[in-house]
Structure 1
Amino acid sequence: MLTEDEIFANENYILNLLNEVMREGIKDYIQYLENSDFFSAPASTKYHRDYPGGLAEHSLNLLEPLKLSNSRLKKKEQLPEDSLTIIALCHDVCKEGLYVGDYENYRTLQGHPANNKHSVLSIEKIKKHIKLTRIERDIILYHMGLFSCYEYGMEYTPEDLMRAIKRHPLVQIFAAIDMEETHWQR
C-alpha cells in the first residue's frame, strides 16, 4: 500500500522521466497521462499491486531492470534510453480507466477494451501521441510472453512471438522482467 505522498512522488518521477524523452508527441502523451487515472490506479484487481498507485509503481519497477538488461546486450543491440523509458513506463497504459471501486474492492470495468486486447490497446494509446519503433511495439505487444498470444484468441501466434524474439532479445527479456515484477514481488 502506498501513501498519498508516495503516489505523488511516483507521479512526479515518471513525469520527469518522460519529459526527458526526445520524441515528437511526448508532451501530448504526458498531458494524456495527467488527465487519466494512471498514477492513482491499481495494477490489477487482486494479483499484483492491487492498491492505489500500483500501476505507476509497477511501471517504474520495470525501468531499472530493463536498463540493466539492455546494458548487458551487444552494443549494436542496445536500445536508446528513450526507448527503454517508453517501454517500461507505457507498456500497461491500457489499464488507465480499467478499474473501478476502492482499495480491496476494485473490479474491472465491464466492456473496457483492455479486458481482451491488453497489449494491443497499450500500443494504440501510445501511438496516438508517440511514434513507436517496431522493436518498441514488439516488446510492448509481447510483454506477457506466451500469454500475449493466447489473450487475443491466437491473433498473434507463438511463432509470431519467436520471430519477434529473433528480431530483438529484449522482447523475451522484458517479458521475464514483467513476469518477475508481477508475480514474485507482491
Structure 2
Amino acid sequence: MGDREEFLAIWHQHVSRPGSEKLLDWLDKKTDFFTAPASTRFHGACEGGLCMHSLNVYHALHDTFFTEGDSEETFAICALLHDLCKANYYKAGTRNVKNDVTGQWEKVPSYSVEDLFPYGHGEKSVFLIERFMKLKIEEAVAIRWHMGGFDDAAKGGCFAISEAYDKYPLAVKLHIADLEATYLMEHRTSAVR
C-alpha cells in the first residue's frame, strides 16, 4: 500500500465528522498534498514527502500516546492534517550543486517556497481545516502549536505556548510526535517505518 492509499484508509476508518469528505475531496483534487514535499531540503524533501511525514506523525502519535479513552478521530485529524499549510506551498525547480567527485557543477532537482497565503504555520493549517469542518478546541490548539519552540510566536517570548501545553496535553503529544517523525524516523528524503 502506498502512502496516499494508507492516508485515505486511516482517514476513512477514523474520520467521519461533518465536512470531512469535502475537506478530503479538496485535499485530493485542489491541492498537491499527496505529491508535495515536506520541506525544501531536509525531512521529506522529495515527491510525496508531505503525505509520508503526515503518516509518520500519525504512527508516532498513535503508537506512543494513544490510550483507552482517547479519540481515534482526534488523533487522525491532528496527525494527518497538522502540516496542511504545506499543501500548494512548494515549487519544484533546480539548483546548482558541485559534484564532490568530478568538481563540476550540476543541476539537481530542488524545491523552493512559494507561499501564496502567508498566514503562519500551525494557524494556517487550522484555518484551512476549518474552511471545511469544525475542530475541537484541543485539536485546534494542538495543530496550532505542533511546532513548539520552533514557531515564530514562541521565539518572541509568547506565553501562549506554555499555557496551551499546560491545558491541552494533546498539543504536547503532537509536538513530540512531529519531532520524532522529523528527526528520528525521516532522514533527508526517505523514511523508515
TM-score with structure 1 length normalisation? 0.83
Is contact 1:63-1:85 (8 Å) kept?
Answer: yes
* Pairing partner for 2:73 from 64, 69, 82: 82
2:86 matched to which residue of 1?
95
Poorly superposed stretches of 4+, deviation over 6 Å? none
- Determine whether 1:163 maps to 2:154: no
Higher mean Cα deviation, 42-51 or 165-174? 165-174
- Return 5+ residue gaps in structure 2 as ranges: 94-107, 188-193
1:172 matched to which residue of 2?
172
What is the percent sequence identity of the aligned residues?
29
Partners of 1:152 and 1:113 lie apart in 2 by: 21
* Pairing partner for 2:27 from 25, 28, 33: 33
* Pairing partner for 2:39 from 27, 32, 44: 44
Compared CA separation, residues 28 and 152, structure 1 to 2 (3 A) = farther
Alignment of 1:44-123 (within 5 A): 44-71=39-66, 78-102=69-93, 104-109=109-114, 111-114=115-118, 117-123=120-126
Q: Which has the higher strand share?
A: 2
Partners of 1:71 and 1:12 lie apart in 2 by: 22
Alpha-carbon shift at residue 168 of structure 1 (Å): 2.1
2:5 matched to which residue of 1?
12
1:131 matched to which residue of 2?
134
Is contact 1:58-1:181 (8 Å) kept?
Answer: yes
- Return 5+ residue gaps in structure 1 as ranges: 1-5
SS in 2 for 1:105: strand
Partners of 1:133 and 1:99 lie apart in 2 by: 29
Provide Cα deviations, 1:137-170, integer angstroms capped at 9, x if missing partner. Answer: 111011011122x25884x81x211111111222
Q: Structure 1: which amino acid aligns with 2:21?
A: K
Provide Cα deviations, 1:11-68, integer angstroms capped at 9, x if missing partner. Answer: 1221222223120001101101111100000001102110000000000001122113
The root-mean-square deviation of aligned C-alpha atoms, in Å, is 2.1
Structure of larger gyration radius:
2
Partners of 2:131 and 2:55 lie apart in 1 by: 22
Is contact 1:38-1:55 (8 Å) kept?
Answer: yes
Q: Structure 2: which amino acid aligns with 1:170?
A: L
Partners of 2:179 and 2:65 lie apart in 1 by: 17
Q: Which has the higher helix share?
A: 1
Compared CA separation, residues 66 and 18, structure 1 to 2 (3 A) = same
SS in 2 for 1:140: helix
SS in 1 for 2:110: coil
